[in-house]
Structure 1
């Protein structure tokens, strides 16, 4: 590989700028973690296509479908907080292993039962994604592991590929589910409900693969079993002045019982602002989740499952392609610019989505929305990882995930209530407006902030750095 890259300079440049070099150099664990989430998102994509339609076939009202999704998200919040705050103590690999087992069990329950409350319990405990997104605790733990085994320079690239691969997994899962439904429903002896039940076997298979992958991870992923990476060691030497060291010693002597209390005050002061904005964005996402968008399209245009799968899988492929460029773009224009300038057009597309009367224009708006929607994820995770200490990451990312999921819980119920009254379209207008508020707020609050080591969050393109930047890194103004 090295000889080939040396002979082809353009290929070498592409290899580095795409982030593949960073991913390769991070090692085997990064690949396993990424494949683990890709399998999980394959299952989520498959289920998001049919779960609302499955419930409608069982006779659940629109409001009850929205309520199911809200209660599932609420259960994910409780599970997420408990699991992520204990993950470092229990062992991150063990938690991911348990998650795979629970996925398989919940898939088996959905394959067998039709009772609302039994399905609700299975969806909550087994983290069945009623909304199509990764709302359980496992993403936060995986991001913490990836942040732990990467350096400041490679982190954004690796996290970008983490998002990219998982988006591709969701796209393939959605397409497979649509085709699977169409093929099986045409066979003799299969009822519509029976085919829906059979689709959940995908969850069982992907859960089993997660178990195998979790067993293959090394101890380098554990905070207690591995040393800091060279980049993190150097960064901490620069960041920890005498006051920080004294504070850490005092905290250690007090031995706080809560992992939240171990999150430093400077970290919290920044995260409070970000958490507030993320709750606004997440409420909007909950109102127009992938599952509810599928439901809206199927109802408005009376689409077959295969056609619906084609549309949604294409949208997810576009999301996959765009996330490839998130890491390089963040390195070129800054984390904040990447987050805002890619998310804002997506937000506008959500707001306009219900207005076209034809399928073509509606689909184009969907492609704009989903094609750009995921480009802010890797920069956001890299930003959070850069402002917290390694031992804080799992807790901070877990709390972030829990707060986002908690704010999402209201969304599906609101949309379900609106749909019951024939006002489904209003959900998209409200969600788009909230997302635009989030984008503007993010820019206003963080545009002048700089990361540890003079890594800009949102630099003006072409702005020169001071000559002493690399020698005397600034701290994030908190």
Structure 2
């Protein structure tokens, strides 16, 4: 029996399942909610551009639609994430779920370009198959609160892995549903089959809302009390209490903290000023690199990639769905290894060494003249593309203070979305001029520049300087900590396991 259980124990500890188990019920709900949402986004990634083409929208209009949708995500996501810690993270996530349901309903019923565009801008629709919008920054901030430095990378790994698996299942389901409705006994038109997929999207929005309702107060921002400890408080109660205090003393309410009606850019400026100068210095460099990567991703999102493959090879929709599903599935499998790899070689090295082959696959994507060679490059791109996500989230959490994370992650996602919105319009214009392939060459080159810049700038960045119980020790973001390197094998064996850290049985020093 021990011989049978040994591999299971090894997997349980090596691949971070113990860290996920220690994170608790709220972490499970957050990860499940994102997986359901990415299932819906996966259905969109396969058919959105094809749906617009079936409605006789021009290539330029398709690209413009996606760019304007991402622009709407910028303002919506930025506004909701910047107020999330004040009005309540769960309330904001529930509002996002409602907007997702509303957008799905409009796409399931209407075909007018401007009505669809309005629904996409003010609602939540994934124009590219990626997780842009208000959810991700808040969820990452919640998971950062629920984890410790030793378990965070593992939990983020499963957060990415399960969501990518959701996208895989969504793409497969979308292709099969369309094939059955269009080519099966029903004989539906492609337009009607595409509309059906958006009813699935609407249903997933309802499921997302129900999961958000099950979250507890532990997901809200922890604030320091007078004794220097942390207390869990309802953020709306904090706002009301401080207004009452100012009313009693006759002082005006602090506009900079509580005036929720002020301009969006004023709030952004306030949030930037609330981030400490050392954090800003790190994030400014990272934001530039992430913007470059996002421009590339915006030029060749999976929705437009599927459109390119469909135009070039004309495969059956079920075959296209199968290929997209396998690509996402490979991404989910590879994501499992991001946590163990990050522990071995460091967060930044994991990000760079896994993302670089994916970038090269984007660069070479137009080269093959056969469908299956093109599919192979898509498998390489998608299979390795997500391995940098969990280490990146863990890296951002490791260089920021707890009360800065929601703002930092929200601004990060906002800037990435803002950069990504430039891409679809450029690609749409290129496609209209029979130069679609140029988008992949430019995007692959930009992604490689991001990879090299990341390694050069952040290889030796010290981490976890703001965590509770920090002892001043420093760790190398690109590899093992300096203190670990000085330990021999016996000393390393004496270190507590991540599950012991998360359960409180041992107090880790900051690495």
1:151 pairs with 129, 141, 148, which one? 148
Question: Which residue does the alignment assign to 1:219?
Answer: 217
Aligned match of 2:284 in 256, 268, 272?
272
Q: How far does residue 11 in structure 1 lie from its aligned partner after superposition?
A: 2.3
Query: 1:207 aligns to what?
Result: 205
Shift of 1:104: 1.1
Give the distance between the partners of 2:64 and 2:25, measured in 1 at CA.
41
- In the TM superposition, residue 292 of structure 1 has moved relative to its aligned partner by 0.6
Q: Which of 160, 171, 175 matches 1:174?
A: 171
> SS of the counterpart of 1:132?
coil
Q: How does 1:409-420 map to 2 (within 5 A)?
A: 409-420=421-432
Distance 1:461 1:307, change over 3 A: farther
Following TM superposition, by how much is the alpha carbon of 1:339 offset from its aligned partner in structure 2, in angstroms? 0.3
Q: 2:60 aligns with which of 57, 60, 63?
A: 63
Question: 1:9 deviation in Å?
Answer: 3.7
Rounded to whole Å, the distance in 1 between the matches of 2:112 and 2:348 is 45
For the 8 Å contact 1:5–1:11, the answer to whether it is kept is no
**Gapped runs of 5+ residues in structure 1?**
234-253
Q: CA RMSD in A?
A: 2.7
Deviation at 1:472, TM superposition (A): 13
User: Which of 364, 371, 386 is residue 359 of structure 1 equivalent to?
Assistant: 371
303, 317, 327: which one pairs with 1:291? 303
Find the counterpart in structure 2 of residue 456 from structure 1: 476
1:130-162 Cα offsets, whole Å, 9 max, x none, are: 101001121110000001111110100000000
Q: Give the CA deviation at 1:461.
A: 10
In structure 1, what is the Cα distance between the partners aligned to 2:378 and 2:303? 13
* Alignment counterpart, residue 196 of structure 1, candidates 191, 194, 197: 194
| Alpha-carbon contact 2:474-2:481 (below 8 Å) kept | no
The answer as to whether partners of 1:256 and 1:262 remain within 8 angstroms in 2 is: no
**TM-score normalised to structure 2 length:** 0.84
Query: For 1:223 and 1:177, how far apart are their aligned partners in 2?
Result: 38
Q: Are residues 1:331 and 2:343 paired?
A: yes
- Tell me which residue corresponds to 2:330: 318
Q: Could you tell me which residue of structure 2 aligns to residue 432 of structure 1?
A: 444
Provide the C-alpha distance between the structure 2 equivalents of 1:126 and 1:149, rounded to a whole number of angstroms.
Answer: 29
1:107 aligns with 2:104: yes
Residue 86 (structure 1) shift: 0.2
**What's the CA shift for 1:255?**
8.5
8 Å CA contact retained: 1:144, 1:397: yes
Please say if residues 181 and 187 of structure 2, whose CA atoms lie closer than 8 Å, have aligned partners that are also in contact: no
Structure 2: segments with no counterpart, 5+ residues = 232-253, 258-269, 465-472, 488-494, 496-506
In structure 1, how many angstroms separate the alpha carbons of the residues matched to 2:61 and 2:384? 31
Deviation at 1:190, TM superposition (A): 2.3
Instruction: Please give the per-residue CA displacement for 1:378-427, whole angstroms capped at 9, x wherever unaligned.
Output: 00000000111111100000000000000001100010000000010010
SS in 1 for 2:150: helix
Show the counterpart of 1:238: none
Change (3 A) 1:188 1:361: closer
Match of 1:243 in 2: none
User: 1:337 offset after TM fit, Å?
Assistant: 0.7
Contact 2:96–2:135 (CA under 8 A) maintained in structure 1: yes
Matches within 5 A, 1:41-52: 41-52=38-49
1:294-305 paired onto structure 2 within 5 Å: 294-305=306-317
Q: Does 1:376 align with 2:376?
A: no
What's the CA shift for 1:10?
3.5
* TM-score (structure 1 length as normaliser): 0.89
Aligned to 2:31: 34
Match of 2:69 among 69, 72, 75: 72
Secondary structure at the counterpart of residue 449 of structure 1: coil
| Contact 1:76–1:124 (8 Å) recurs in 2 | yes
Q: For residue 87 of structure 2, what is the aligned residue in structure 1?
A: 90
Match of 2:467 in 1: none
SS in 2 for 1:200: helix
In the TM superposition, what is the alpha-carbon distance from 1:375 to its structure 2 partner? 0.2
Tell me: CA distance 1:344–1:463, structure 2 relative to 1, closer, same or farther (3 Å).
Answer: farther
Deviation (angstroms), 1:47: 0.9
Partners of 2:474 and 2:482 within 8 A in 1: no
